[in-house]
Chain A
Amino acid sequence: MLQMIVSGVALGAIYGLIALGIVMVFKATGILNFAHGEAAMLSAFVAYTLFKLGLPLWAVVPLTLIFGAALGMAIERFIIRRFIGKALLSSAICTLGLFLVFGDLAIWVWGKDTQELPSIFPSAPIDIGGVIVSGLDLGIVAVCATLAALLFAFFRFTRLGIAMQATMENPTAARLMGIPIKRIYALAWALSHVIAATAGLLIAPLTFVHFSMMQHALHFAFAAAVLGGIGSMPGALLGGVIIGVTSNLTGAYVSSAWKDAVPFIVMLVILIVRPHGLLARAQVKKV
């Protein structure tokens, strides 16, 4: 059972990372990014290609992250920017369109075959206090925790991070205070795509690299974002872990058919009982 919990935490951490990227972009620019999972998928494929070209893993990882950042910035600059501040419908449909385009793009470039990307972490099982944990799971949790800590430090202690938070709270006030919000938008999208690339790299050893590797995870990630509170970044991570663990336990002890229904059920319950999620505060719309 502990085994299930630990691997649930690891998987959940990845869902949480994806959710974090979605929430970040939603908070900063008010846009729901349906294509976030596909961006992670593309990053995983890019990593695969770089690896296939002979680059060592320690070079592949940063290059992939850079690809993520570039992709995020390009999307924001050329497509998304004109929808910021407009109704949710237009931008959401736009990201939906990107979701479709990225999917077929992957098939076009890399075909439909499943590819393998070696894990950064040794998959040998490690014994921790009597519990056998896979090295991969441990590595995933370690990376996510580190990333979370880095992000926390960024938002708390750096000027740029604080500026970004200010923009998320009140873009008009931020602009009036001299914060270059266009650059903040670009930064938010770049950062969230770096997070997506990280998620892609982490999940690749578990799901292997293929064009539909992220579709399952995306649904879990959205549920995690809602659970944690669509306005809360730490909530997204927490939500992911909770959903990861719950779904794993359900799969093991109830039935594997219900495993996939867990995020949806959790999400519905939260929306009925506490729509602003676990960690976010209830927002009052200014009239």
Chain B
Amino acid sequence: MTVMEQANPALAAQGTAPLLSIRNVRMAFGGIVAVQDVGFDVMPGTVHALIGPNGAGKTTMLNCISRFYTPQQGSMRLATPSGEVELLGCKAHQVARLGIARTFQNLELFAELTVFDNVLIARSIAMRATLAEALLGLPRQRREERAEREHVEKLLEQLGLQRHAHAVVRDLPYGTQKLVELARAMALEPKLMLLDEPAAGMNNREIDALGDTLRRLQVSTRATLLLIEHSMPLVMSISDTITVMHNGAFLAQGTPRDIESHPAVIEAYLGGGKSGKRR
């Protein structure tokens, strides 16, 4: 039985194969173990939240999946049309081509470029033209340019960013910047989106809007979302499944209702005496 099935017997009965299967991942930096023996499944088409107190290892986990870090041990298997792929054998830039997109906690936008260019760069993986064709401005290059630019315009419209299209990202307000980063991830047309604290720095109204956007996104693209989030209202309202990490280890998993009242989770967040605060 998978971890998921243990936590949620009803899902075991469904027999759906997980999109992303994580097992026994261990990530240590020198003497510090940030993630130890963590495993969970992400089911396709779901909104899956990864929560836990600060320092729980959530971003580290995400960095392992997107291959910016290499775990010392473990496996991360992605289901693709051509079979299962072990992510551990991939380089960071190959992850996007497998259909995994991500946003960053501290925003990694191309600050000096426009919104349009930021999103257009994300369409590079869809372009087949070779270097020679690019250097000589051959027809295929120009055709693809036009096509991708149209794609970007439509995407920006979808997210309400079209009036900022030619503004330099650096000059935009923080909330808009977060939306641009989301747009960029969406431009990859991913099967799995890894979102690192998408609601950070937002007020309640913006968080509600974000929740709507994410839900709409999920419905229209049928992508799977794995998000790290601290805003409990957002997590509770949009998640199908929640995985809780604490001190680098797996703590619990279940539906929002399960987690809400889970004693170990409550203790971890409130920092009870026995589980020990690690500040």
- A contact set with B: CB distance below 8 Å: 281, 284-285, 287
Q: What are 9 contact pairs spanning A and B, CB under 8 A?
A: A281-B30, A284-B29, A284-B69, A285-B68, A287-B59, A287-B63, A287-B68, A287-B69, A287-B104
6 closest residue pairs by CB, A with B: A287-B68, A287-B63, A284-B29, A284-B69, A287-B104, A281-B30
* B-chain residues with CB within 8 Å of residue A285 when the two chains form the complex: 68
Chain B proximity of A178: nearest CB distance (Å): 18
5 extra interface residue pairs, beta carbon distance < 8 Å, beyond A285-B68, A287-B104? A281-B30, A284-B29, A287-B59, A287-B63, A287-B69
Question: For the complex, what is the distance from the CA of A73 to the CA of B104, rounded to whole Å?
Answer: 38
B68: nearest residue on chain A (CB-CB)? A287
**Count, A-B residue pairs, CB within 8 A:** 9
* B-chain residues with CB within 8 Å of residue A287 when the two chains form the complex: 59, 63, 68-69, 104
Chain B proximity of A41: nearest CB distance (Å): 38
B55-97, CB under 8 A of A: which get 1 and which 0?
0000100010000110000000000000000000000000000
Chain B proximity of A146: nearest CB distance (Å): 31
B223-250, CB under 8 A of A: which get 1 and which 0?
0000000000000000000000000000
Question: For the complex, what is the distance from the CA of A187 to the CA of B44, rounded to whole Å?
Answer: 55
B62: nearest residue on chain A (CB-CB)? A287
* A-chain residues with CB within 8 Å of residue B69 when the two chains form the complex: 284, 287
Question: For the complex, what is the distance from the CA of A284 to the CA of B69, rounded to whole Å?
Answer: 7
Most buried by B among A281, A284, A285: A284
Chain A proximity of B27: nearest CB distance (Å): 10
Most buried by B among A281, A284, A285, A287: A287
* B-chain residues with CB within 8 Å of residue A284 when the two chains form the complex: 29, 69
Within 8 A of A (CB), among B100-118: 104
Chain B proximity of A247: nearest CB distance (Å): 34
Question: For the complex, what is the distance from the CA of A284 to the CA of B64, rounded to whole Å?
Answer: 12
Interface of A, helix, strand, loop or mixed by DSSP: loop
A285: nearest residue on chain B (CB-CB)? B68
Question: For the complex, what is the distance from the CA of A57 to the CA of B175, rounded to whole Å?
Answer: 65
Chain A proximity of B65: nearest CB distance (Å): 12
Chain B proximity of A239: nearest CB distance (Å): 23
B102: nearest residue on chain A (CB-CB)? A287
* A-chain residues with CB within 8 Å of residue B104 when the two chains form the complex: 287
Chain B proximity of A149: nearest CB distance (Å): 26
A287: nearest residue on chain B (CB-CB)? B68
A281: nearest residue on chain B (CB-CB)? B30
Chain B proximity of A48: nearest CB distance (Å): 47
Chain B proximity of A264: nearest CB distance (Å): 29
* A-chain residues with CB within 8 Å of residue B29 when the two chains form the complex: 284
Chain A proximity of B18: nearest CB distance (Å): 25
* B-chain residues with CB within 8 Å of residue A281 when the two chains form the complex: 30
B23-34, CB under 8 A of A: which get 1 and which 0?
000000110000
Chain A proximity of B104: nearest CB distance (Å): 7
Within 8 A of A (CB), among B28-43: 29-30
B92: nearest residue on chain A (CB-CB)? A287
Chain B proximity of A166: nearest CB distance (Å): 15
Question: For the complex, what is the distance from the CA of A281 to the CA of B68, rounded to whole Å?
Answer: 18
* A-chain residues with CB within 8 Å of residue B63 when the two chains form the complex: 287
Chain B proximity of A170: nearest CB distance (Å): 12
Chain A proximity of B83: nearest CB distance (Å): 29
Chain A proximity of B76: nearest CB distance (Å): 16
Question: For the complex, what is the distance from the CA of A285 to the CA of B30, rounded to whole Å?
Answer: 13
* A-chain residues with CB within 8 Å of residue B68 when the two chains form the complex: 285, 287
Question: For the complex, what is the distance from the CA of A285 to the CA of B63, rounded to whole Å?
Answer: 11
Chain A proximity of B252: nearest CB distance (Å): 26
Chain A proximity of B69: nearest CB distance (Å): 6
Chain B proximity of A120: nearest CB distance (Å): 42
Chain B proximity of A278: nearest CB distance (Å): 18
B108: nearest residue on chain A (CB-CB)? A287
Chain A proximity of B34: nearest CB distance (Å): 11
Chain B proximity of A234: nearest CB distance (Å): 18
* A-chain residues with CB within 8 Å of residue B30 when the two chains form the complex: 281
Chain B proximity of A281: nearest CB distance (Å): 7
Chain B proximity of A280: nearest CB distance (Å): 12
Chain A proximity of B107: nearest CB distance (Å): 12
Question: For the complex, what is the distance from the CA of A285 to the CA of B92, rounded to whole Å?
Answer: 13
Question: For the complex, what is the distance from the CA of A116 to the CA of B59, rounded to whole Å?
Answer: 60
Chain B proximity of A91: nearest CB distance (Å): 18
B105: nearest residue on chain A (CB-CB)? A287
Chain B proximity of A153: nearest CB distance (Å): 24
